[in-house]
Amino acid sequence: MAAGAKTALRFEKIAFLCTPTVEGRAAREALVSRYGDVDPEEAEIVVALGGDGFMLQTLHRFMGTRKPIYGMNRGSVGFLMNDFSVFNLEGRLSVAEASVVHPLLMEATDCEGAISTARAINEVSLLRQSYQAAKMRISIDGKERLDELAGDGVLVATPVGSTAYNLSAHGPILPLDATMMALTPISAFRPRGWRGALLPDQAKVTIDILEVEKRPVAAVADHFELRNVREVTVAMDHATDLVLLHDPGHSLNERILREQFGY
């Protein structure tokens, strides 16, 4: 995972996508009237107007294309976004810093034996579906490391996602260029003192669901959910690059560092 490289391109074909809100639509209209607009598939760069959720949707839409995505905040939190302005967009894009990140690849097998795959930019979460605690067995690269985890669930987070659900579950914040993943329990009941693990990003995590019928579990990769799973594997997809652009001094690395100091 590399971060902080400055773009040397001058983008001429810009596509503007927006979240379907009043703020998002107004921002898109103002930018299109000033800079024009092209079809997203033909664009050299995509400008996403919304919040972090819309940025994730945009990244998923263009996953595998290496098309740079520059976000401007027209949502709430905007951790992944730049500040919004109609002015000097071409100048901002010409000096923007690129962060290249990789998604997680989830392969989930349900109780009927059907296999589904999905990618996650933030995290893959396994969550209990009923009032009873989930019970799971965790193996790393084929070796059992935890014979039984009982609790609300467990998640595997990327460095990008380490400041999202992972942080809320008291997982560690990872620098963007850290070659690691966070394995974090969610409200663990047993083992009571287990706080999770830091794993190399080359590791393959296998999670087997125990007592599948009695304690059903759902697997979630960002916005994709599969219910009643019995086995889930998670690994970093190093073959897929996602390119995010940020204004100088506001890179993802800088934002993650600030988050560790509470601002």
- pLDDT reported for residue 12: 83
Contacts of residue 104, Cβ cutoff 8 Å, sequence gap at least 6: 119, 120, 121, 123, 124, 156, 158, 181, 221, 234, 235, 236, 237
**CATH for 2-102+241-260 (3.40.50.10330, 1.20.1530.20, 3.30.365.10, 3.40.50.150):** 3.40.50.10330
Residue 49 marked ligand-binding: no
- pLDDT reported for residue 7: 40
- pLDDT reported for residue 263: 61
pLDDT per position in the chain (263 positions), as tens?
444 444 445 788 999 999 999 999 999 999 999 999 999 999 999 999 999 999 999 999 999 999 999 999 998 878 899 999 999 999 999 999 999 999 999 999 999 999 999 999 999 999 999 999 999 999 999 999 999 999 999 999 999 999 999 999 999 999 888 899 999 999 999 998 899 999 999 999 999 999 999 999 999 999 999 999 999 999 999 999 999 999 998 877 887 887 778 66
Residue 234 marked ligand-binding: no
Task: Residue 147: count other Cβ atoms within 10 Å of its Cβ.
Answer: 11
Q: Which residue type does 89 have?
A: L
- pLDDT reported for residue 192: 87
DSSP secondary structure, 186-217, as one string? EEEEESTT---EEEETT-EEEEEEESTTTS-E
Q: Which CATH architecture describes the domain 104-236?
A: Sandwich (2.60)
Q: Is 52 a catalytic residue?
A: yes
Q: Which two tokens stand for residue 203?
A: 């590791």
Q: Which of 37, 52, 147, 208 is catalytic?
A: 52
Of 225, 211, 6, the closest CA to residue 100 belongs to: 6
Q: How far apart are the C-alpha atoms of 158 and 175, rounded to whole Å?
A: 10
- pLDDT reported for residue 46: 97
Which residue is listed with tokens 């209990």?
A: 128
Numbered ranges of CATH 2.60.200.30 in the chain: 104-236
- pLDDT reported for residue 257: 80
Residue 82 marked ligand-binding: no
Residue 166 marked ligand-binding: yes
Residue 122 marked ligand-binding: yes
pTM reported for the whole predicted model:
0.89
Numbered ranges of CATH 3.40.50.10330 in the chain: 2-102+241-260
